[in-house]
Chains A and B, each alone.
Chain A
């Protein structure tokens, strides 16, 4: 199989704090509807979070949901929806020759996995004086890193390669990138790739961000996530997920699938500078790497979807990197999706890309909301603020996601034009 096979996005399955499918998500991104709400979690107490409210039992039996994890439930929701959106019923996938289940891969990007279940188990055994006979036999299958992808295979009867990619908050893009690579290597014929986050169910994430001084606070939850605003004060942790149905373009065309975009380039690199703090140089190199891979220049990109998480220092670092790449690109517009949903961690890259894909059809750039007073240090050319903007041409999107330990990822998607 040639390594340059073109890869099409033919389906999008997602759950976001402000939308249970692509249409609802996009509508709320254009109408400025936030999904952040008041939230309480043990040991931390009252805080804020992006919470998903999808009906778990639409695609899972009660027993599956009870036995599995929240990350698994999110992945199952996204996988089923991605297949439906792609016009591939699960039965089509499981039954050759259309897409043999053995030739279908599942790749879930995760920031972390296992914290939720481990905390729950420790809480449980603490009620019994730490008697380990009360430690659940479900702990290991729930905490293994491949859990979300594995639960998808069990739910849909998929027998191909399925596992997670751990990439901190860059992971959502990694799931997409890896799916593309597996298709190009000819190792699968259909890939479900993206990311999932169950992180709002682990108190440790909140406590750690709070200890770091990086947890958002605001009287109005909907205003708490405010990248690039002068009054931003930290991250809103969110749950969510997004899996893309990916196919080789020739296969997608052969079955007359609707093509939502073509993945034309990507890059992943490392800052090698700090455990936590991002680095403009690494981010810039990552964006330039993705552009080079796509054989595009900055001027060719219509929408840049930033990663900015609403932290005082991180947003400035990213703005610096974006300026250095795109300041001379007159037609490039910049936005941010976390302002609506908070930081969906391992899902962020995929989910935020998904929210921007409809630009190819509606010609609009969704804004970054909650910018009451733009921080001058975050000023960016063509930053779309508070109101959607119609642009003359929406053919290319560059999506960025960065994570701890200095991992950066960037993906370039282009409108399919034959």
Chain B
């Protein structure tokens, strides 16, 4: 998976978790929770979807790494290397 595909993957998961939100204007370096309505239960949903779709286990100590889209790419890209992009909403 390329870095661009990681962004697609994470946005696709967020679109499922926060279906009322407009994700088209998301900034890479701003905290996700400052840009859209996302609470701790939603965040756990994101972690769960990463586990289900890509087999990625994110330990609790690393949750802060996923606070921004840029952080997601940095943290997830190595873990998703060699994996194919799935669409959460079709999963």
**Chain A residues near B (Cβ < 8 Å):** 61-63, 66-67, 128, 133-134, 136-138
Contact = CB atoms under 8 A, between A and B. Distances in A.
A61 B21 CA distance: 10
24 contacts: A61-B20, A62-B19, A62-B20, A63-B17, A63-B18, A63-B19, A63-B20, A63-B37, A66-B17, A66-B19, A67-B41, A128-B52, A133-B51, A133-B57, A134-B48, A134-B51, A134-B52, A136-B48, A137-B41, A137-B44, A137-B45, A137-B48, A138-B41, A138-B45
Interface string B32-67: 000001000100110010011000010000000000
A128 B91 CA distance: 14
A134 B57 CA distance: 11
Contacts of B57: 133
Interface of B: 17-20, 37, 41, 44-45, 48, 51-52, 57
Nearest to A131: B51
A188 B37 CA distance: 33
A67 B52 CA distance: 18
Contacts of A136: 48
Contacts of B52: 128, 134
A126 to B, nearest CB: 13
Contacts of A61: 20
Nearest to B41: A137
A129 to B, nearest CB: 13
Nearest to A61: B20
A123 to B, nearest CB: 13
B39 to A, nearest CB: 10
Contacts of B18: 63
A67 B17 CA distance: 9
A179 B18 CA distance: 35
A138 B42 CA distance: 10
Nearest to A128: B52
Nearest to A141: B41
Nearest to B38: A63
B81 to A, nearest CB: 22
Contacts of A138: 41, 45
A139 B79 CA distance: 28
A326 to B, nearest CB: 52
Per CB-CB distance, the 9 closest pairs between chain A and chain B, nearest first, are A62-B19, A137-B44, A61-B20, A62-B20, A63-B20, A63-B19, A63-B18, A137-B41, A66-B19
